[in-house]
Amino acid sequence: MQTGIFLAFAAYFSFACGDATIKAVGERLPVFEVGFFLSLIALLPTLFTKRPEDNWSNVFIPKRPGLLFVRMASGTIGGILGVVAFTTLPLAEAYALIFLLPIFVTVFSWLVLKEEIGWRRWLAVLGGLVGVLLVVRPGFREVLPGHFAAVGVAICGAITVIILRVLGPSERRVTLIGAVLVAATVVNGVLMVPEFVAPTGDLWPLLVFGGLVIGVAHLLLVLATRFASAARVAPTQYSQIVWATVMGAMFFEEFPDGIAMAGMALVGISGLFTFVREKEKTVWPDKTPLLRNR
């Protein structure tokens, strides 16, 4: 279990490095172009998530293509919105909004899956919303398109989680990961054509690094869940707020003030509490494969 948790921390550190790379190159390349190159390069490491018993001839043949299409759509749209969010917002601030994901999962579970949500989880939802208000402070600070994009990422991620609850027990994990990366590569590749800008020589190392660390992070996350349960591994994702704060300060001169830090802490605590309560009240955390839902 310790090995699994360590691998999970390494995976989410790698994801944070990939997101920091998105911020670095997103200031010089169009959104769709960033999504195309990173998704294309990330495909290579994720191929190693194929289990030995699976054949390449059927690994990309879904058992429930309709739901997998929804998973591909939510993942691709969330990825595009993520590029917008990380490019226009401080890293830690973007993460604080994206970590509304478990809050939206709770709401969607109540609306779509008709789950009973107790007052404690509704209190966690309220706490997460208060945390976001402390981070964004509408009326005192300018609300940017990136804020709406980050919230959109959380909504797309919540939709993905709901879909994975159904697909998880039946679909191969390499199918769930690979299908989204292929869809993101194709969609971004088509959309980038009208405004294509050839990357300069100094951007290629960043693009290759960003794609590889994202792909390796997916691989590490799959390995982590082979050593430890998803319920043990999932809380480590909140370490990304720490990585984002450190990387934002080191590379982008981003220093959140005390109010923003308090808001981020409240969002993280609310999300963790929501996950713990779902683990106690439902069996969904055991049935949902732990993936990079964003």
Which residue type does 92 have?
A
pLDDT of residue 63: 82
61 or 81: which leads in pLDDT: 81
Largest CA distance in the chain: 56
Model pLDDT, residue 283:
57
Question: Which pLDDT score, from 0 to 100, does residue 287 have?
Answer: 54
Residue 116, classified by CB atoms within 10 Å of its CB into exposed (0-12), middle (13-18) or buried (19+), is exposed
Mean pLDDT across the stretch 157-179? 79
Tell whether the model's pLDDT for residue 37 goes beyond 90: yes
Work out the average pLDDT over 211-239.
Answer: 81
pLDDT band at 292 (very low <50, low <70, confident <90, very high): low
Q: What is residue 203's predicted lDDT score, i.e. its pLDDT?
A: 94
pLDDT for 286 equals 55
More confident residue, 68 or 60: 68
pLDDT beyond 60 at 104: yes
Q: How many residues in total does the chain contain?
A: 294
Q: Give me the mean pLDDT over the 211-220 stretch.
A: 90
Note the pLDDT of residue 185. Answer: 94
pTM, two decimals, is 0.83
233: pLDDT strictly greater than 80: no
Pick the more confident residue, 203 or 221.
203
In this prediction, residue 194 carries a pLDDT of: 92
Mean pLDDT of the chain: 83
- The confidence score (pLDDT) of residue 62 equals 81
Q: Buried b vs exposed e over 221-243: b needs ≥16 C-beta within 10 Å?
A: bbbbbebbebebbbebbbbbbbb
Q: Is 36 left (phi over 0), alpha (psi -120 to 50) or beta?
A: alpha
